[in-house]
Amino acid sequence: MKFLLDMPVSSALLDILEAHGHEGVHAHQIGRGRASDAELPDIARRENRVIIMADLDFARLLALSMAEGPGLILFCGGNYSDREMCDLLAGVLGRVPSELLDRSICVVDTKHVRVTALPLDRRP
């Protein structure tokens, strides 16, 4: 599976991805250090990547768009050290099947991992 890391996310996560047999690229490595919330999903869709980020605004946009992807791993609820973020990601990769990550929003904090399939159902 392939991943795209957003700017606030530590590039240390690339080692965790590789250790779990995945490919990752950080936004700054592909010249997208200042990419907008609209650009990253386009890149991720084009390259079949799951986005890893800590930006709630993007998660809201993805949810409201009713899109089926890209998949998203969203770190929320704290200002994590590199080590904490690496440990949390390793836990996600060890517990959540790849086929779910590809078309889901996976919300991660220190106590929970919540996986919701895309597109989100907005029926009342």
CA–CA dist 120, 98 (Å, integer): 19
What CATH number is associated with residue 66?
3.40.50
Residue 67 lies in a domain: yes
Residue 124 lies in a domain: no
Task: Annotate 70-93 with b (16+ C-beta within 10 A) or e (fewer).
Answer: bbbbbbeeeebeeeebbebbeebb
Residue 63 lies in a domain: yes
Residue 122 lies in a domain: no
Instruction: Give 46-104 pLDDT, tens digit per residue.
Output: 999 999 998 776 666 666 566 677 899 999 987 899 999 999 999 999 999 988 998 89
pTM: 0.88
Which range of residues forms the domain containing residue 43? 2-117
Residue 105 lies in a domain: yes
Domains contained in the chain, number: 1
CA–CA dist 108, 88 (Å, integer): 7
Instruction: Give 37-46 pLDDT, tens digit per residue.
Output: 667 888 888 9
Residue 83 lies in a domain: yes
CA–CA dist 91, 70 (Å, integer): 21
CA–CA dist 33, 31 (Å, integer): 6
